């Protein structure tokens, strides 16, 4: 996670307008889980649980048309999974990531649509061009980096790379510490990059 890194003037949320127009044209019976008043389930990764960040914590966009997506940024939360979701839902925090992976079982939450810009890299250009994935844990507590976390996260990253044509290498799948200008160290020295990249490339 990171401090505010939004552009100076937020753009109007055009996607919601477009989505409204789209939904108006779809027969009601075709909508997923048509609970009265509920927002339609809106994940980009089919195995993710939709846990939306507050709209104040991300920038609406139309990626990849509006911004090329060519990086995946790997993070560690430095707090618990549920607290991470709560931070992203708090409009005062000004931070978000597209995904959060839970330690114990590798469960994946999606918090920001991939078409939108999440605020995770501490660098606006890198926010615009990347998908950010948070992992529950601490950089100095390697026990949080479970087999399930590595395996489920690798499947998610492979899916992102496949869908945007991103090379599955360390030039394009980077740690937060590799973002220019950051003072963050995550995922830290206990993150097994060799293992992770092997898993990403074996999917």
**List of residues contacting Zn ion (CB under 5 A):** 75, 176, 184, 186
Among candidate residues 125, 134, 162, 178, the one labeled active-site is: 134
State which residue, 102 or 184, has the beta carbon closest to Zn ion: 184
Torsion of CA 201, 96, 101, 137, to 10 degrees: 110
- Does the active-site annotation cover 136? no
Q: Cα dist. 131→3, 28, 38, 81, 198 in Å?
A: 17, 32, 26, 18, 20
- Residue 67 beta carbon to Zn ion: minimum distance, rounded to whole angstroms: 20
State which residue, 106 or 187, has the beta carbon closest to Zn ion: 187
State which residue, 116 or 186, has the beta carbon closest to Zn ion: 186
Interatomic CA distance for residues 84 and 61, integer angstroms: 23
| DSSP-derived pairing of the beta strands 71-76 and 130-135 | parallel
- Residue 2 beta carbon to Zn ion: minimum distance, rounded to whole angstroms: 6
- Residue 23 beta carbon to Zn ion: minimum distance, rounded to whole angstroms: 34
Sign of the Cα torsion 187, 190, 191, 193 reads positive
The catalytic residues are 134
């Amino acid at each position: 996670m990171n401090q505010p890194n939004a552009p100076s003037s937020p753009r109007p949320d055009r996607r919601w307008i477009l989505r409204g127009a789209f939904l108006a044209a779809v027969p009601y019976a075709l909508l997923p889980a048509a609970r009265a008043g509920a927002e339609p389930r809106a994940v980009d990764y089919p195995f993710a649980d939709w846990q939306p960040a507050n709209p104040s914590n991300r920038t609406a966009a139309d990626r990849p048309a509006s911004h090329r997506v060519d990086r995946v940024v790997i993070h560690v939360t430095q707090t618990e999974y549920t607290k991470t979701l709560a931070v992203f839902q708090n409009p005062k925090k000004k931070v978000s990531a597209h995904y959060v992976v839970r330690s114990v079982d590798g469960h994946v939450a999606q918090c920001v649509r991939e078409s939108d810009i999440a605020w995770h890299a501490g660098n606006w250009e890198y926010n615009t061009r990347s998908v950010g994935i948070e992992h529950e844990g601490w950089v100095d507590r390697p026990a949080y980096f479970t087999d399930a976390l590595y395996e489920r996260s690798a499947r998610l990253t492979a899916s992102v790379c496949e869908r945007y044509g991103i090379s599955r290498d360390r030039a394009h799948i980077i740690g937060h510490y590799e973002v220019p200008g950051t003072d963050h160290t995550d995922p830290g020295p206990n993150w097994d990059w060799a293992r992770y990249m092997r898993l990403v490339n074996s999917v």
